[in-house]
Structure 1
Amino acid sequence: MSHKYSGGCDHIHTHSNNDPIDNHTCHCSVCKGVTGQDTTHVVFFKHSDLAVDDISKLNRQPFNANNPNGPLELCTCAECGTPIMLDDKESRIRVIVPNLMGYNADDLPATYHAFFDPASGVAKPNDGRPVFEGLRPEFVWPTPA
């Protein structure tokens, strides 16, 4: 069966037939540390909107090493180690990074820049998309699933 959005690896597949609730380019230090990228294209889905075909095949670790009890866990394939998603222990969101988690980034374009810190010394993005020091002001966390 074909899905609107799909990704994963050869062993674990994720998909959604619903649009994401947020797409942004993240500038935070946690994303930089985990991905090794200067900026990270991040896509939030409602927790119940992103399905995993075999969740028992996931290894879980804290997403933020400086906050190991935080709500997000990095889920990787237990067989090959591929990052599959970030899972929210509070069941609000599931997060994918298209270029690392098997998704077509062109289908899920980032609409703004999040967590930009002017004190970082990095030039403010000037690609025409809004730039915020956090998530976009109108973002509302979904109710847990």
Structure 2
Amino acid sequence: MPDYNGGCDHVHTHASAEPIDNHVCHCNVCKNVTGQQTTHVAFFKYGDLEIDHPEKLARQPFNAENPGGPLELCTCSECGAAIMLDDKEKRIRVAVPNVMGYSGPFPEASYHAFYDDSKGYSKPDDGRPVYDSLRPDFTWPASA
């Protein structure tokens, strides 16, 4: 059984289920938020990623260009650490393992999402599929 733990000293996340989607993201929003060229992103079903102190989360829009969008970046109100992305529609919660305090083994991303060859860097050639959006068979889960 998997055991994925993240967070900071004040707020902890835990999942004992596998992610429903696990990709290397090339989108501009992830670039702006993380400062990384690409970002390892894992989607969990909403109820599968648990938070021990939700009252300590500060919430802000994930996408500054779409502040009314469904995803919120949740940070610790005490130390400012990024904890997770929360979906206001309660479909998913998102972990970024290298930014959100995950230690220990985490499953490797299975594909590249939101790659756009107009961004000025080479198409990934690491053997994983490359898509211009999420993988074609991804289906958003129902709201919790």
Asked if Structure 1 and Structure 2 have the same fold, meaning a TM-score greater than 0.5 normalized by the shorter chain, the answer is yes
- In structure 1, what is the Cα distance between the partners aligned to 2:99 and 2:121? 24
* Cross-structure match for 1:79: 78
**What do the CA deviations read for 1:2-48 (whole angstroms, capped 9, x no partner)?**
x7111100000000111110100000000000000000000000001
Percent of residue pairs identical: 65
**What do the CA deviations read for 1:52-98 (whole angstroms, capped 9, x no partner)?**
00100000000000000000000000000000000000000000100
Q: CA deviation at 1:107?
A: 1.7
Gaps of 5+ in 2: none
- In structure 2, what is the Cα distance between the partners aligned to 1:120 and 1:9? 33
- In structure 2, what is the Cα distance between the partners aligned to 1:124 and 1:75? 31
Q: What secondary structure sits across from 1:107 in the alignment?
A: coil
Q: State the 4+ residue runs in structure 1 displaced beyond 3 angstroms.
A: none
- Assess if the C-alpha contact under 8 Å between 1:99 and 1:105 holds in 2: no
Gaps of 5+ in 1: none
Q: What secondary structure sits across from 1:100 in the alignment?
A: coil
Task: Kindly report which structure 2 residues correspond to 1:1-145, keeping only aligned pairs within 5 A, or say none.
Answer: 4-104=3-103, 106-145=105-144
Aligned CA-pair RMSD: 1.1
Q: Taking structure 1 as the reference length, what is the TM-score of the superposition?
A: 0.96
Q: Taking structure 2 as the reference length, what is the TM-score of the superposition?
A: 0.97
